Chains A and B, each alone.
Chain A
């Protein structure tokens, strides 16, 4: 019988586990990156207006467009909000289908929601305000006990997915939050009833940057752990089908370069993970966070 040989990219599609192992054995990855090399991540452009903040983020080939808009709610009497708030993210990954959000889209949105809350970057009192009132073309303080709150709606659109998306979506979200500016909210007239239906965004005053409990943007990094010849290989920033579906021991770390805000480990292949390995992951994450924030 004749043996059949396949090109590497075809082998990767038909037997991804074998393709992955062969690559790693000779010390390379199918995406040509080094084991400890992350895809480049950068903000392409960012702008902010009275009703919307938009960022374009590129990570490798992946492009993420992040839009943050807001809605206003009235705080009910007696309602004391938690010290920190979150945002309300929705996410869609362009992959040529339409319909209800997929599990991946739902899980990413929920992760971003939980992450923002637990990282304590968004203090509730940055979002709470008292509206002003327009009297004779001048904005004046309104005498009221009513309080209102901005609710941030985040929409992420992802083009050209090639690997796990949490890192880039997280980056898009936090860097966009840094750019959010909120307008002064006012009533047009002192005779109008004070309710959310009558509030307007004031177009002439300068926008106020959103106050965050975050000096530098948090950075999320992901790693895969793969057992090769009884040793654990650490592979940074998984990409491509073969790595994503066959490296099932994964770690995700969120750091600001000093401390950590998130550490998630899923040991899918029940590896013996040593303390030194975890230390090295934490160190790399810190360094990456510092490097990205120093650009």
Chain B
């Protein structure tokens, strides 16, 4: 995973995340003045725009935007910014399915795209962009994806080929307190699975969220170090 923060100059926070063949750029502007119809008397309103790597946004992006909004609006301390707007723009730069689009198998692509393989990266990239923008968050958060293959083994961070051959796939977002996963913020499990499998996936997700967040924390620490240019001389 490759991360760059503060990549954009004219917004309050931004991050670019590259993970395998997926590359996502997120910008955060806010708190800024909302349009009158967006304004909420005691909360910040949240505007989320998601642009796909190829073509224009359609129903798929609309649903992803909706999911992202429900995740972010529970984590941003919105009452800190009453009558203000926080605008999050997600631009997907490249995607594993893009190669297939170029080969022009439209139907197959639509079917592959529903795995939403970029969604975990979008969530994680939003985390860094929000940190970069200094917007208040209740808790840190991390998204992890897993799939369960036909032989019931769990694959962490599955690739597209794993997803296609999986029996079920699961996206989990955990909030983080004291560097440890705390609550489930969001879960999206699809396919065929039993109660036991669901709990195994949750336990395993809890573990990898913890492990991955250690990496996130190092990135954040390094970022703080770099950002504070007026370091005390030793």
- Residues of A participating in the B interface, judged by any CB pair closer than 8 Å: 79, 81-82, 85-86, 103, 106-107, 109-111, 113-115, 117-120, 248, 259-273, 275, 278-279, 282
A260 touching B62 in the complex, CB below 8 Å, given contacts A266-B186, A270-B175, A273-B183: no
Contacts of B55 in A (CB 8 A): none
Are B191 and A107 within 8 A (Cβ)?
no
Give the shortest distance, in Å, between B69 (CB) and chain A (any CB).
10
The answer to whether B191 touches A118 (Cβ under 8 A) is yes
Closest CB-CB distance, B126 to chain A, in whole Å? 16
Give A238 Cβ to nearest chain B Cβ, in Å: 15
**Which of A110, A120, A275 has the most chain B CB within a 10 Å cutoff?**
A110
Complex-state Cα separation, A269 to B71, whole angstroms? 10
Residues of chain B whose beta carbon lies under 8 Å from any beta carbon of chain A: 59-60, 62-63, 66-67, 70-71, 73-75, 105, 107-108, 111-112, 114, 138-139, 164, 175, 183-195, 198-199
Query: How far in angstroms is the closest Cβ of chain B from A250?
Result: 9
> Are the C-beta atoms of B188 and A268 separated by less than 8 Å?
no
**B93 to chain A: closest CB distance in Å?**
23
- Which residues of chain B come closer than 8 Å to A118, judged between CB atoms? 114, 190-191
The answer on a CB contact under 8 Å between A260 and B108 is no
Q: Is there contact, CB below 8 Å, between A275 and B198?
A: no
B149 to chain A, nearest CB (A): 14
Choose one: B59, B74, B187, B191; the contact of A261 (CB below 8 Å): B191
Please measure, in the bound complex, the distance between the C-alpha atom of A35 and the C-alpha atom of B190, giving whole angstroms: 27
Given the known inter-chain contacts A248-B74, A262-B189, A270-B185, please indicate yes or no for A117 contacting B111, CB distance below 8 A. Answer: yes
Cβ contacts under 8 Å, A115 to chain B: 190
Contact of B190 among A81, A86, A259, A262 (CB under 8 A): A262
A270 vs B76: C-alpha distance in the bound complex, in angstroms? 11
Q: Does the CB pair A110–B195 fall under 8 Å?
A: no
User: Could you say which of B108, B183, B189 contacts A81, with CB atoms under 8 Å apart?
Assistant: B108
Inter-subunit contact B107/A81 (CB<8 Å): yes
Q: How far is the CA of A248 from the CA of B73 in the complex (A)?
A: 10
Indicate which residue in A120, A263, A268 contacts B189 across the interface (CB closer than 8 Å).
A263
Q: Which residues of A contact B105 (CB under 8 A)?
A: 79
A241–B164 alpha-carbon span in the complex (Å): 39
The CA of A113 and the CA of B184, in the complex, are separated in Å by 26
Q: Once bound together, how far apart are the Cα atoms of A259 and B63, in whole Å? A: 26
Let me know if B183 and A272 touch, CB within 8 A: yes
